[in-house]
Amino acid sequence: MSTNGNGNTGEERFLNEVKQSLDARAENIEEKILLRLRKIRHQATLEAEGRKKGMFFLPRWIQTSALATVATAVVLVVVWFYSQRPAFLFKNPEDFEIVSSQDQMELYEDLDFYKWLAASDSRG
Amino acid sequence: MERKGCENLEPEKKKALNGFLTGIEKRAFTMVRFAVGNTEDALDLMQETMLTFVRLYSSRPEEEWKVLFYRILHSRITDWYRRAAVRKRLQQWFGFAKEDEKENSPEDFVESSQISPADLVENKEFNAALEKALSRLPARQQQTFFLRAWEDMNTKEVALAMKCSEGSVKTHFSRAVHTLRTILEDFSP
ipTM reported for the complex, 2 dp: 0.76
> Can you give the pTM of this predicted structure?
0.64
Q: Is the pLDDT of residue B135 over 60?
A: yes
Angle between helices B2-36 and B62-93 (to 10 degrees): 40
Among B27, B31, B33, which Cα is nearest to B105's?
A: B33
Interface residue of B181, B185, B186, B188 to substitute, partner A, most A CBs within 10 Å = B181
Under 8 Å CB pairs connecting chains A and B tally to 111
Whole-angstrom Cα Rg for chain B: 19
Give the dihedral of Cα atoms B132, B133, B138, B144; nearest 10 deg.
-110
Q: Is the pLDDT of residue A96 over 90?
A: no
* CB pair distance less than 8 Å for A47 and B54: yes
Q: Is the pLDDT of residue B113 over 70?
A: no
Residues A26-57: tens digit of each pLDDT: 999 999 999 999 999 999 888 777 665 544 55
* CB pair distance less than 8 Å for B116 and A1: no
Among A34, A38, A10, A22, which Cα is nearest to B152's?
A: A22
